[in-house]
Amino acid sequence: MKKLIETIKNIWRIEDLRVRLLITLLFVAIYRFGSFVVLPGIDPSKLAALQAQTNEGLMSLLNMFSGGAFSNASVFALGIMPYISASIVIQLLAVAVPYFQKLQREGESGRRKINQYTRWLTIVILLFQAPTYMINLRSQVGQSGAFIVGDTFWFMLSSAIILAAGSMFILWLGERITDKGLGNGVSLIIMIGIIARFPSAIMEEFTTALSGAEGGGLIKFLFEIVALLFVMALSIILVKAVRKVPVQYAKRMEGNRQFGGARQYIPLKLFAANVMPIIFAQAIMFIPATLLSAFSSNGGGTFVRMLSDQFSFPYNVLYVILIVAFTYFYTAITMNPNQMADDMKRNSGFIPGVKPGKPTADYIDTVMTRITFPGSLFIALIAIMPAFAVLLGVKQGFAQFFGGTSLLILVGVVIDTLQQIQSYMLVRHYEGLLSTGRTRTSSSVSAY
């Protein structure tokens, strides 16, 4: 405790870090405040049907990502997910379209152009999602008198515009946190939304335990808390381990001895894609639920309804397949074997026993394929753990924190934020938050 207090004091002594921390807290407070600002013309006391819709199924996960704004019919109801969907599409285009491939190779200027295209595509997606949300809202609470001015065309149009503007404002907040705050703004926004749902989820589970409605009582609740802490601790340990340990399977690269080159490891990682495959897969899985809620009056067919239930067997099977596929995809676009081989050749590096050029690229590709598979299975296992928790009697709202996207995002963002704080403190020669006193980066030693 004494060390923690001293660390907090050290953080406050560093002016730059103090300012960034306060700016981050301010923007987070604005985001949370906006989550409770209801759309103009909506009676918040008559949203019981919408809140019941988001208590279970895939809609509850969508509500969690928005920090409860979805069920509040808030101006921030659409959250940051439209931007995530746009990012997925742009990254897919970067693989298939030469123009976007060229932008990726242009460095900072290319990155700015890609970000601009992503924002424009986010607006296009919002033009579809905002009216869809209003259609779903009308189907849920239209007969309850929640629409004070009536569901006229102009009211629906103005509300859709407000929803789109709210989502873009959240994106702006995330970018400001990245530039002026602690960094990782968009990820931090998602994490705050997840954390905001945790108190209500644990209180609901505790109330159920006190009532004894599902058996077990407080003993069962205590076992659930212990299991949750164990899963969180295990996830932190494993994620930190696979981030910081270089893959020993890969051969070492020999530098050109004539020019004083040294022996280094090729920077291949077991967990190169981080949590992005889960976020990508989750965004794809939101599509059936969104279409079903907006355009189906009878709940759709049995299979479609099961795809909208995050705890059903077909949903989790498809979810695992998408995670594995996106893990390979994201690893391929972030770690290009051909480019790595070319860079090694230009810097007079080589892998012992492997010819430069295409044979080196093929060798790196083979190693990446072998080490990516167990990494993808690891994050897929964590992703479907909430389904196992539900099978053991945990309520759906609380079960979402036993794994899945929520847990990995929490672990990943917390670790990244601590590393950001750690780096600022080490520059000023202060001991940081991590026990080793060193910043753990997410990559191994550079090979070129």
Rounded distance between C-alpha atoms, residue 59 and residue 397, angstroms: 11
Helix, strand or coil, per DSSP, at residue 403: coil
**Model pLDDT for residues 369-380, shown as the tens digit of each residue:** 877 888 788 878
Interhelix angle 185-211/404-427, nearest 10 degrees: 130
Q: Which residues contact 320 (CB under 8 A, 6 or more apart)?
A: 380, 383, 384
Q: What is the pLDDT confidence band of residue 255, given thresholds at 50, 70 and 90? A: very low
Flag whether 190 is in a domain.
Answer: yes
Flag whether 208 is in a domain.
Answer: no
Residues 185 and 224 in one domain: no
Give pLDDT, residue 157: 92
Phi and psi for 325 in degrees, rounded to 5? -65, -45
Flag whether 96 is in a domain.
Answer: yes
Provide mean pLDDT across the span 233-244.
Answer: 66
Residues 411 and 281 in one domain: yes
Q: Which residues contact 292 (CB under 8 A, 6 or more apart)?
A: 299, 300, 304, 305, 308
Provide mean pLDDT across the span 60-82.
Answer: 86
Flag whether 95 is in a domain.
Answer: yes
Number of H helices, E strands in the chain: 18, 2
Check whether 45 has a pLDDT greater than 80.
yes
Check whether 39 has a pLDDT greater than 80.
yes
Dihedral over alpha carbons 400, 404, 410, 416 (to 10 degrees): 180
Q: What is the pLDDT confidence band of residue 162, given thresholds at 50, 70 and 90? A: very high
Check whether 60 has a pLDDT greater than 70.
yes
Give pLDDT, residue 372: 80
Residues 270 and 364 in one domain: yes
Give pLDDT, residue 311: 78
Residue located via tokens 């530039």: 179
Helix, strand or coil, per DSSP, at residue 21: helix
The CATH number of residue 220's host domain is: 1.10.3370.10
Give pLDDT, residue 253: 47
Give pLDDT, residue 433: 55
Tokens standing for 443?
């990559």
Residues 237 and 124 in one domain: no
Flag whether 3 is in a domain.
Answer: no
Q: Print the domain residue range for 234.
A: 216-448
**Model pLDDT for residues 98-136, shown as the tens digit of each residue:** 888 888 778 788 888 999 999 999 999 999 889 988 988
Residue located via tokens 């993808």: 376
Residue located via tokens 């659409």: 78
Flag whether 119 is in a domain.
Answer: yes
Rounded distance between C-alpha atoms, residue 248 and residue 228, angstroms: 32
Phi and psi for 253 in degrees, rounded to 5? -95, 135
Q: Residue 134: count other Cβ atoms within 10 Å of its Cβ.
A: 23
Among 237-251, 280-294, 376-390, top mean pLDDT goes to: 376-390
Residues 50 and 161 in one domain: yes
More reliable by pLDDT, 243 or 406:
406
Q: How far apart are the first and last CA of the chain?
A: 42
**Model pLDDT for residues 336-354, shown as the tens digit of each residue:** 777 777 877 777 777 777 7
**Model pLDDT for residues 178-215, shown as the tens digit of each residue:** 888 888 888 888 888 888 888 888 888 888 777 765 55
Number of domains in the chain: 2
Check whether 445 has a pLDDT greater than 50.
no
Flag whether 59 is in a domain.
Answer: yes
Which string of b and e fits 155-168 if b means at least 16 CB within 10 Å? bbebbbebbbebbb
Give pLDDT, residue 317: 87
Rounded distance between C-alpha atoms, residue 71 and residue 48, angstroms: 9
Tokens standing for 256?
């050109």
Residues 171 and 259 in one domain: no
Q: What type of residue sits at position 234?
A: L
Give pLDDT, residue 305: 67
- Indicate the range of 241-245, 321-325, 330-334 predicted with least confidence: 241-245
Rounded distance between C-alpha atoms, residue 165 and residue 40, angstroms: 14
Tell me what percent of the residues of the chain surpass a pLDDT of 70.
79
Residues 176 and 237 in one domain: no
Flag whether 257 is in a domain.
Answer: yes
DSSP state of 181: S
Task: Determine contact, residues 359/338, Cβ cutoff 8 Å.
Answer: no
Choose the final residue of a domain: 141, 164, 198. 198
Give pLDDT, residue 304: 64
Residues 88 and 231 in one domain: no
Q: What is the pLDDT confidence band of residue 324, given thresholds at 50, 70 and 90? A: confident
Check whether 436 has a pLDDT greater than 60.
no
Question: In this structure, are strands 263-265 and 252-254 parallel, antiparallel, or unpaired?
Answer: antiparallel
Average pLDDT, the chain: 77
Give pLDDT, residue 448: 31
Residues 186 and 271 in one domain: no
Give pLDDT, residue 437: 42
